[in-house]
Copies of this chain bind each other. A is one copy, B any other.
């Protein structure tokens, strides 16, 4: 169970922009700060622009900034907008589903509701809650992270 680096990077970019709310930031500045591939960031930023999370301006003195106040951007919405898919089980995608028990199986709805719970939990927080917030003010880990051999 993973999210893609795309989503990870998308969240980092928005976090950075929220920290500097109002300021214009360039992709190069982001790449420098996070020490990650500028090329990769270009696509992340492009996608965030398409999904109306940021405003981009080209040309000299161009750059990007949040399209909306940080407190209006839900974390869950960002994840929904950046993950390529949410095909948790084969049967989630009718195009590729070959499971012989899809019709009678009740697992699908249970897993789907779990996914809804996941995103719902994320929707409890906004970018503003994350940016510059003292770490201790946020919910702490409720249990020990799961580790597999």
Contacts and interface: CB of A to CB of B under 8 A. Distances in A.
Interface in A117-141: 117-122, 125, 129-130, 133, 135, 138-141
A39 interface: no
A121 B125 contact: no
Nearest to A104: B135
A5 interface: yes
Nearest to A142: B116
A73 interface: no
Most chain B CB within a 10 A radius of its CB, from A106, A111, A142: A106
Most chain B CB within a 10 A radius of its CB, from A8, A15, A33: A8
A75 interface: yes
Interface stretch (A20-28, A59-67, A77-85): A77-85
Contacts of A121: 110, 113-114, 117
Contacts of A116: 142-143
B105 A15 contact: yes
